[in-house]
Amino acid sequence: MSWTAAQPMVSITDVRKSFGEVEVLKGISMEVMKGEVICIIGPSGSGKSTLIRCINALNTIEHGSILVEGQEVNVARLDKLELRKKVGMVFQQYNLFPHKTALQNIMMAPVRVLKQDRREAERRARELIAKVRLQGKEHAYPGELSGGQQQRVAIARSLAMNPDVMLFDEVTAALDPETVGEVLLTIKELAQEGMTCILVTHEMAFAREVADRIYFTDRGVIVEQGPPATFFSGASDPRTREFLSQIL
């Protein structure tokens, strides 16, 4: 029963989720293979963010199944540590720890959670800082960094845990326009290295360029999906067409 790379890395089947009376996910199914880059687009309130938050169990689901490398997320006694070692997540509001420097933000979880050797964790953290092009900012506090720089630290912090799949929840939505590009570039490089990525985004040009497949969600269901070439030019559902006509 062990998971192999031939199987989907993330397998979502008929997921339902309500907040009180409001059903935000109404039977979502999705499969993500290793190394794939998936963009989820759709109007606000269509359940995109809720869906990816369910993948690492920040939100619980009421019905259906989410398998991450074969580990079922929808179980009562979930091994969250095991799940979250596999799944990294980056948030819209960065959520860096303001009382720690960039370097500490990155190396703290490997040291405290994975019990890595401190020097090894620091070496790796410095590598990641270089990777997100923030050399010289190792000892800066989040408050001293721009939004784009903070978000790149947040990406590095997540990568330090060596996840197999990365979730990006509207990571450029809170950024100044001039810093969006540097964050997207970092994600693009990550995708090109073969990292499995699931992104909720409003950056259509970026989705078109980077995504292997695009999912369009509306009111809690997946309306349609496909590779960018066919999705953007040949969307068949009227809801998708209407959405695309509004934003493109």
Residues found near other proteins in the complex (CB under 8 A): 56, 58, 80-81, 84-85, 87-89, 91, 93, 95-99, 108-109, 112-114, 143, 154, 157-158, 161
CA distances from 234 to 65, 230, 239 (A): 31, 5, 13
Query: Given the complex with other proteins, which of 18 and 104 has the nearer CB atom?
Result: 104
Complex with other proteins: residue 169 or 203, whichever CB lies closer = 169
Residue placing its CB nearer to other proteins in the complex, 5 or 113: 113
Residue 60 is encoded by which pair of tokens?
């619980």
CA atoms within 13 A on the CB side of 68: 28
**Which parts of the chain fold into alpha helices (H)?**
48-55, 80-86, 102-112, 118-131, 147-159, 177-192, 204-210, 228-234, 238-247
CB of 157 to other proteins, least distance (A): 7
If you ran DSSP here, which 8-state letter would residue 175 be given?
S
Closer to other proteins by Cβ: residue 143 or 177: 143
Min CB(84)–other proteins separation in Å: 4
Tell me how far, at minimum, the Cβ of 218 lies from other proteins, in Å. Answer: 25
**Could you tell me the smallest distance in angstroms from the CB atom of residue 92 to other proteins?**
9
Q: Please, which residue, 142 or 220, has the CB nearer to other proteins? A: 142
How many Cα atoms within 13 Å fall on the side-chain side of residue 247?
Answer: 16
- Which residue in 141, 195, 128 sits closest to 168, CA to CA? 195
Helix H or strand E encompassing 35: none
Q: How far is the CB of 94 from other proteins (least distance, A)?
A: 8
**91 versus 206: smaller Cβ distance to other proteins:** 91
Provide the minimum distance between the beta carbon of 93 and other proteins in the complex, in angstroms, as a whole number.
5
Residue 165's beta-bridge partner residues?
A: 87, 196
